[in-house]
Amino acid sequence: PPTIGVFALQGDVREHLRVLASLGVDTIAVRRPSELDACDGLVIPGGESTTMAKLARTFELFEPLRDRIKRGMPTFGTCAGMIMLADRIEGGTSDQETLGGLDITVRRNVFGRQVDSFEDDLTIDGIDGPVHAIFIRAPWVEQVGPGVEVLGRVEVPGAVGRIVAVRQGPLMATSFHPEVGGDSRFHQLFVDLVRSVTTTDPVTQK
Ligand code: GLN
């Protein structure tokens, strides 16, 4: 089976490891470059994106991550992980660094601002039946580039819904937390993506 890592310097790492293990892949918590090397795919969990970026710098994972993502490693970011994968942050105060890779602009902390969480049932492209989504101080996607597929939106009365799930080639991201709540279908989509990439990659021949 493929090995799927979870970025483990910050965030809800254990929840992702548990769901991935239940789907029959090998898992590894990634805190150092040698652990990243062992991965066929990577999940970046929910947490706090500015802290994640800083810790990745401190532990010398930032450049190796950026490099693997650039070279096509399948990567799935949830919530803070979505922000880490975004090329642009809207209304960002500052100089917040992201790994990038996804041609999207995100706005941080827009869902669940008041009570720290918000839930909705979503229709997701590629998944049968509604997906119950949990948002915790979550971002939404303000703008997507031409190569980005929109997989799901939160409905807004009288307007086009807010984009909360996207895919661009080997990169996937959700504003919400599919690792919470016992529904493994989103992770299954990602595992299928990792398998399709690792079985056809002429370089690794896996
Ligand atoms: N608010 C966090 C951030 O901006 C994301 C929250 C989450 O991952 N649940 O990074």
Residue 181, phi-psi category: left (phi > 0), alpha (psi -120 to 50), beta (remainder):
left
Which stretches does DSSP call E strand in the chain? 3-7, 26-30, 41-44, 75-78, 86-90, 102-111, 118-122, 131-135, 138-144, 149-156, 159-168, 171-174
- What pLDDT was estimated at residue 196? 94
DSSP code at position 183: -
Tokens encoding 179: 């690792």
60 labelled binding-site residue: no
For ligand 1, what atom is nearest to the CA of residue 109? 1
Given a cut of 70, the residues of the chain with pLDDT beneath it are 92-94, 113-116, 199-206
- Is the Cβ–Cβ distance between 56 and 97 less than 8 Å? no
What the chain holds in terms of domains, given with CATH numbers, is: 3-200 (3.40.50.880)
Ligand 1 center to residue 202 CA distance, Å? 36
- What pLDDT was estimated at residue 111? 82
For residues 87 and 54, give the distance between their C-alpha atoms in angstroms, rounded to a whole number.
17
Ligand 1 center to residue 204 CA distance, Å? 34
Given the cut 0.85, state whether the ipTM is greater than it: yes
49 labelled binding-site residue: yes
Q: Which amino acid is at 96?
A: Q
Q: Is the overall model pTM greater than 0.90, yes or no?
A: yes
- The residue nearest atom 5 of ligand 1, judged by CA position, is 80
